[in-house]
Structure 1
Amino acid sequence: MKQRMLTAILAALLLLSGCSQPIMSPATSSEQTSTQAKSGTDTASSNTAAYPTDDLNLPRVAVELVKAIDGDTISVMFEGKKENVRLLLIDTPETSHPKLGVQPFGPEAKAFTKELVEQADRLELEFDIGPNRDKYSRLLAYVYADGTMVQEALLQEGLARVAYIYPPNTRYVDKFDDLQRISREQALGIWSVENYAQEDGFHPEEQDANKNNNNNNSAPTTKTPIENREKPKQGCDIKGNINSKGEKIYHTPQSPYYDRTKQEQWFCTEEEAVQAGFRAPRN
């Protein structure tokens, strides 16, 4: 009986030993796991895009430039015909509008676009998933000059605003919004004049008002030395300004418009400015 039990135990041990052989050595397993973990981290890091649209690699159509018409419009040869192309999702100030004429920063935007497209060795169009023509029969596209998207470059320079957002042609609108926000915070280009670029377009009267205010604040015959101008009391460095619309707006030293704001009144705290009827600037 004891011999049978001993034989059974030995057989079981041999069976378990045969089934429990590792698929790979512990060293190999640990090494591979470590490599996979490192590789996975690196892959995730390298493939992480700031925006889902960054790595789309969508097809583009090569075109030949005819001329730059405006900051947001160019003329190209497309499929054997001369076509005007309206840059999707942005708007730049006008330079030759029959009613609006030349708007502030319009010439700068046109010159910027003109330089980009004229110096490019390769000019390409990328269409969105919606209609590729507007009501004026212009092509609607994202324009690339040697791989650089012209819309992004204009927004980064503060020479365009995000506009004319008509779904489903909204592929890059999230990225464009962020580029615009950064330029606005830095008071670049069109954003250097408060209330000039608004949701309904551009308002040149805001820049004219600022110029008039500057002229009115300086004496026609005698200029006051900078060091003799009114200075705020210590700790009272908030500027209160009244714009052309009669709006009372206060600016703290952190405001992007602070340095170019002419104060009508100094305040020590934002609460003091609010009590006096002033509001914070709208970004």
Structure 2
Amino acid sequence: MRQALAALILLSGPALAAEPIVGRASVTDGDTLVIRGTRIRLHGIDAPESRQLCQDAAGKSYRCGQVAALVLADRIGDANISCEPRDTDRYGRTVAVCRKGDEDLNAWMVSEGHATAYQRYSRDYVGVEITARALKRGLWAGTFDPPSDWRRAKRARGVETRPEMGKPPEATTAPVQAACAIKGNISRKGDKIYHLPGTREYDRAVIDPSTGERMFCSEDDAKAAGWRAARG
């Protein structure tokens, strides 16, 4: 009986363990990225939303959500990263711990003060947050609303904070999503500019669907929609 049970455990164990998701990442925001068409939500952390404003040490407002996305993109760069799945959230995203080499990127975002420990779901990074707060890093240098509170306040006023999260991705097969990798960005002046993978500003470009920004599957699609190629 014991031998049979042991054999069952050995057979079932590997089948239940999800394979790591490995590849180059496109950063959506400070706690969300995409690898080969798979949307990934960083486990145990919560970063400010793209439109969220925070106040720095001098009391000046800045787009803390945009800053969080940019620093994460810079930290990853062109490297391949590995994400270990932990769960799937209600939006169909894979919840994972992502690493660049041996570095836990989830922990790094909290340690630099660009994200908070998402204690509603995990206490893995609470200690890291306590240190960042004591050292007044990132968000902790000034004042800010916790991202979950900011979203809740917006929803109470009837404002959808993550419109792209309210429904599953239109394409569900990895090959199709992987092909739609051209970033359609809108500048402060309102210029519609698309960035091809591998170009200078591609990793820095952060897509905010709530402002009309989007991904394209081909340059022809981008041009037909009124976007132009980035210069340089």
Could you state the TM-score of these two structures normalised by the residue count of structure 1? 0.40
Could you state the TM-score of these two structures normalised by the residue count of structure 2? 0.49
Q: Which of 1 and 2 has higher RCO (CA within 8 Å, sep 6+)?
A: 2
Higher alpha-carbon Rg: 1
